[in-house]
Structure 1
Amino acid sequence: MSNVRQLRDKQPENEKITINLGFVDLGRIDLLVQEGFYSNRSDFIRTAIRNQIEAQGDVVRQTVERHTMELGLRDYSRADLEALRDAGEVLHVKVVGLARIADDVTPELARQTIGSITVLGALQASNDVKTALADRIR
């Protein structure tokens, strides 16, 4: 008997995006990196994005409240969805951030309990669950 257990794969804490920049803007970023203001291009871009989000913070908070969306990380477990199913309720997922549907949630359970999904950020779920809910993801 082996005492080696497989641990859950660590989920990424961020999402990779691709942007297109003009040569002049890219040169300006490189100049700031070269002068030591930022450690690299990614550091500059992350800082610029955070500054813009902070500058628009009140608008983001008001919009989240108006749309009754959850802000941050929201996990949906199999037990959560089974309880909804047993209660005859349907879930409408509205998240700004990261929404995760547990790996042990079956496509059938997901279709029975999730009426719609709106995620501004990222949705993590098995490919089977995403396929089953494709018509409900906005």
Structure 2
Amino acid sequence: MSKLKLIDTSRPKGGETEKITINLGPIDLGQIDLLVEEGFYSNRTDLIRTAIRNQIAVHAQVVAETVTRRAMVLGMQHFSRQDLEAAQAAHEQLDIHVLGLASIAADVPPELAAATIASVVVLGAFHASPAVKAALTGRIS
């Protein structure tokens, strides 16, 4: 199992976020709207992001311990074609374990990904071409 060094633990920029949908009751939604209207938050999204970050901060120690125990990369990890070719030349199989964003470059052929990636475990988002994802079927969990 080899670890590559392209790790960015900064928060994603606007275009690098993932969209989620939540269902809220009318009372919760009304309270959110009231706080926005009163100027505590710029919009609903601002309040929800702040609430999520605060809740994650409450559990930061558990997250850190789990990331360490599971040997995960925390943040963003990108695999270029050159990274995978180097792994192939070294006869290495990569186990990709990321909490955040894992991505495989668009120019990576499916055959190279299949030859060099043993497993993919991502809590967050996994970006790769449809062909690479298809080549890794059964290895992504």
Q: Normalization by structure 1: what TM-score?
A: 0.89
Superposed, 1:16-95 pairs within 5 Å as: 16-95=19-98
> 1:100, 1:26 → 2: CA distance?
35
1:119, distance to aligned residue in structure 2 (A): 0.5
Secondary structure of 1:47's match?
A: helix
- List runs of 5+ in structure 2 lacking aligned partners: 1-13
> 1:53, 1:21 → 2: CA distance?
20
Q: Normalization by structure 2: what TM-score?
A: 0.88
Q: Where do 4+ consecutive residues of structure 1 move more than 2 Å?
A: none
- Choose 1 or 2 for highest CA Rg: 1
The match for 1:114 is: 117
The higher relative CO (CA closer than 8 Å, separation ≥ 6) is in 2
Cα shift readout 1:84-135 (whole Å, capped 9, x = no counterpart): 1111111000001111101110000000000110001111111111111121
Kindly tell me the number of residue pairs found equivalent between the two proteins: 128
> 2:112, 2:132 → 1: CA distance?
9
- List runs of 5+ in structure 1 lacking aligned partners: 1-10
